């Protein structure tokens, strides 16, 4: 497992360098503007390296017997589809409606490919998510897909979020006696670490749409699959993703209620505001990973230990995050 981790890390690191060389040569650059959080033209599309390592890694885990046929299809096909659309979007900026339609198809296909969908524990009840609640589950996946794209706005934050979430979930699974699935999640961290070497502040290349949206959907589908197969319920998974979920949801809600064009690019997420106040991206990105492991992981463990109180754990874990959004004025019009 250690050899596989190091090989995946090194492969992603080398491929990111090649993608960066290609992006510079083809002038695939993010040019700073009034809505940007960076000040230097930077190559984009580096997340292609993550995808190119992640997909064979999933196939290898299928060969090991860690993933069933339907699970491999549910995780691999939607991720590959969104990565293809994201790469085309990085090249030519596809219409938003077309991207959203493909996201819906990919999310629904992923859910249908899974052999079983989980139940949602709530105060002693088990709500099945394969019936009338399936559209709600689909909407959650679509929101995770898009919010991950929204939150990929400063150096290192998207990769550190995914690494800390996967590592935290791996610890919870290890505590549940799920050694193989714990190792699976840790191996998925390897290409993210290899990419992070290039993306850590100050970033030399950005992740781009080729990976941000697929990564959000993949994390969501992993959560659904694990909730159906293990004691790691969806409350625990949502808690681990709390920083991204709260910041993106709060910001969008404030912008909609205040009459702003919610689809217009902006810099009013709390992480963007804090990055400007802190004078750089590094402290904010590192703080996100620290919050995930120090604050959200214990609450997630409580949701696993007491699944009937999962909603309470989610609210208790996320309330301080919402307070931060309120205090910094996330979503309000920029002066």
Q: Which of 108, 111, 67, 102 is closest to 82 using CA atoms? A: 102
Give the global pTM: 0.96
Residues β-bridged to residue 126:
121
| DSSP string across 33-60 | -TT-S-SS-EE--THHHHHHHHHHHHHH
Copy the structure tokens of residue 66: 């860690």
Distance of alpha carbon 299 from alpha carbon 261, whole angstroms:
35
Distance of alpha carbon 334 from alpha carbon 180, whole angstroms:
47
pLDDT in tens, 19-56: 999 999 998 898 887 677 888 899 999 999 999 999 89
| Kind and range of the H or E run holding 316 | helix 310-328
Across the chain, mean pLDDT equals 94
What percentage of the chain carries pLDDT values higher than 90?
Answer: 85
For residue 78, pLDDT beyond 70: yes
For residue 149, pLDDT beyond 70: yes
Distance of alpha carbon 159 from alpha carbon 113, whole angstroms:
27
Q: What is the 3-state secondary structure (H, E, C) of 292-314?
A: HHHHHHHHHHHHHHCHHHHHHHH
Q: Which residue ranges make up each domain of the chain?
A: 46-328
pLDDT at 292: 98
Copy the structure tokens of residue 15: 């491929």
Distance of alpha carbon 316 from alpha carbon 314, whole angstroms:
6
pLDDT in tens, 106-129: 999 999 999 899 999 988 888 999
């Amino acid at each position: 497992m250690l050899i596989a981790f190091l090989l995946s890390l090194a492969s992603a690191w080398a491929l990111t360098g090649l993608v960066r060389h290609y992006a510079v040569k083809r002038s695939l650059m993010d040019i700073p503007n009034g809505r940007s959080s960076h000040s230097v033209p930077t190559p984009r599309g580096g997340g292609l390296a993550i995808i190119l390592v992640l997909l064979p890694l999933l196939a290898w885990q299928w060969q090991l017997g860690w993933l069933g046929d339907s699970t491999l299809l549910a995780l691999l096909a939607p991720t590959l589809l969104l990565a293809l659309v994201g790469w085309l979007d990085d090249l030519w900026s596809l219409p938003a409606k077309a991207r959203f339609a493909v996201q819906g198809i990919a999310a629904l296909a992923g859910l249908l490919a899974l052999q079983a969908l989980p139940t949602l524990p709530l105060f002693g009840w088990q709500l099945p998510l394969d019936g009338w609640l399936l559209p709600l589950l689909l909407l959650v996946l679509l929101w995770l897909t898009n919010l991950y794209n929204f939150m990929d706005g400063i150096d290192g934050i998207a990769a550190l979020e995914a690494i800390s979430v996967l590592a935290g979930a791996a610890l919870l699974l290890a505590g549940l006696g799920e050694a193989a699935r714990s190792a699976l999640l840790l191996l998925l961290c390897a290409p993210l670490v290899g990419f992070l070497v290039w993306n850590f502040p100050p970033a030399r290349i950005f992740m781009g749409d080729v990976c941000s949206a697929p990564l959000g959907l993949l994390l969501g589908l992993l959560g659904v699959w694990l909730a159906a197969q293990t004691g790691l319920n969806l409350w625990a998974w949502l808690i681990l993703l709390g920083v991204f979920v709260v910041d993106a949801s709060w910001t969008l809600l404030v912008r909609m209620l205040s009459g702003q064009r919610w689809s217009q690019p902006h810099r009013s997420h709390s992480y963007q505001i804090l990055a400007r106040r802190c004078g750089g991206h590094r402290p904010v990105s590192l703080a996100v990973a620290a919050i995930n492991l120090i604050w959200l992981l214990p609450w997630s463990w409580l949701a696993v230990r007491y699944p009937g109180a999962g909603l309470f754990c989610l609210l208790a874990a996320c309330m301080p995050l919402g307070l931060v959004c309120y205090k910094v004025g996330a979503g309000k019009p920029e002066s």
